[in-house]
Amino acid sequence: MSKREYTLIGAGLAGSLLALLLVRRGASVRVFERRPDPRSVGYLGGRSINLALAERGLHGLRVAGLERTVMDQAIMMRGRMVHELGEAERFMRYGKDDSEVIWSVNRGRLNTSVLQAAADSGAQFHFDSALESVDFEHRELCFGSSDGVHCRAQFDCVIGTDGAGSALRAAMLKVADLGEHIEWLGHSYKELEIPAAPNGGFLIEPNALHIWPRGGYMLIALPNIDGSFTVTLFLANEGQPSFAELKSVDGVREFLAREFPSAVPLMPAHQQDFMRNPTGALANLRLDQWHIDGRALLIGDAAHAIVPFHGQGMNCAFEDCIELDRLLAEHSDVESAFAEFHVRRKPNADAIADMATENYVEMRDSVANDRFVLLKQLERSLAGLHPERFVPRYSLVMFHRIGYAEAQRRGRVQWQMLEDLLSTATDLAGIDYAEAERRIHSELLPLL
């Protein structure tokens, strides 16, 4: 029996992991990447240098045998350190203890590690090969290099792992109605930096994701292993305040000093960083259809890019890879595997897009709201009393691997329960815990 042959477009995180999984099952895998080889020229990602790694992503690395390699370079983040204007910083733990944390990992180092493992296992990588066109009828791909050289390649099936700006998706849209919907958030982001201390240490608490919430906008900071923090400003595109207003160095300096006075002294190059670094757009991408029969399939950001506010883009993409690898092994024909993959993953991709957008409001606004803090305290209390049934939605997303859609459904039931219980109480002492127990056992099945 001949080997199955897969052609992947994109050697980023999803493409490298999928290539590794498929080649280990005995498949023949080619990966074409428009950028140069990061192992020789360094990572040229053009996006955030660090990512939040949670249980779903860790599971993918475990299956691939790469968990230890990656975790040696990761920094634990136990919770959010909230810096409200004019108030003392406040820590909000993510989970019940250090078994429920997320990890800050370097995007480039992670990508290179997975790519190298895939190459060592037999996947063939072709760099400086930008997809220019696809002839789906004759199953032929056309690539172009940076020096103007063009080449063609035949394919049995092609899988797009080339991110939100997917060239394969663009080619598929020319021949099929995929039902593309782009939901622009109306906000964008700009990256800044808190450098390491002179001794190479951290200037602020390293084991936390720092948030400076300001209602309609916010600043966040994630730790890097070199002692620095990657800082990101999220702000509206138009209005007051907005990126449209911040066009001068003086305007940037005044805005940041006024709104983030505790952060500015930590960022000596904030004005230069702001003026030099690109402004990134924020949007959710949804498609009604992810594949063209058994010829082409999109996964990861190429199929369902999401805003970054739940730290699940990479984690969701790795989950895609695990599921697709399993289905391709189970099905005798690729088309059936692609179809089932879409049916299984589409509702979950839609759910995490919704939850990530909702989390933006929580991070920039709600974390500074007294009632929200009380709701979260009650949530933690009930989770401690009924851990087998009442699990906070954030924990379901970050520390478990149940479907995103089910996490969203349970989260809605639980949040309504919290709202109802607090409707007649002003603190936890006034909560009717007997009623809480009755509703939990009535409305929530135990987690398996």
Cα 234 to its chain centre, rounded Å, is 16
Same domain, 200 and 318: no
- Residue 276 resides in a domain: yes
Among 255, 282, 309, residue at a domain's last position: 282
- Residue 437 resides in a domain: yes
Same domain, 333 and 201: no
- Residue 260 resides in a domain: yes
How confident is the model at residue 42, as a pLDDT?
78
User: Tokens at residue 423, please?
Assistant: 């409707």
Q: Give whole-number Cα distances, 210 to 53, 55, 83, in Å.
A: 16, 21, 7
Burial 218-247 (b: 16+ CB within 10 A, else e): bbbbbbbbebbbbbbbbbbeeeebbbeebe
Same domain, 295 and 242: no
Same domain, 266 and 391: no
How confident is the model at residue 448, as a pLDDT?
78
How confident is the model at residue 64, as a pLDDT?
96
Same domain, 31 and 44: yes
Domain total for the chain? 3
- Residue 98 resides in a domain: no
Same domain, 276 and 301: no
Same domain, 46 and 138: yes
Nearest to residue 114, comparing CAs of 67, 168, 51?
67
Among 358, 389, 405, residue at a domain's last position: 358
Same domain, 51 and 191: no
- Residue 295 resides in a domain: yes
Per-10-residue mean pLDDT for the chain, 448 residues long? 88 99 98 96 68 97 96 96 94 92 95 98 98 98 97 98 98 98 97 96 98 94 95 97 96 97 98 96 98 98 97 98 98 97 99 95 76 92 97 97 98 98 93 97 95
- Residue 192 resides in a domain: yes
Report d(CA 161, CA 145) in Å as an integer: 19
How confident is the model at residue 362, as a pLDDT?
81
Same domain, 293 and 268: no
Report d(CA 220, CA 234) in Å as an integer: 8
- Residue 92 resides in a domain: no
Among 265, 282, 299, residue at a domain's last position: 282
Angle (nearest 5°) at CA 140 between 134 and 143:
65
- Residue 93 resides in a domain: no
Say which CATH number the domain at 20 has: 3.50.50.60
Contact 206, 306 (CB under 8 A): no
Same domain, 157 and 199: no
Same domain, 380 and 428: yes
Same domain, 229 and 275: yes
How confident is the model at residue 194, as a pLDDT?
98
Q: Which domain holds residue 241?
A: 185-282
How confident is the model at residue 46, as a pLDDT?
52
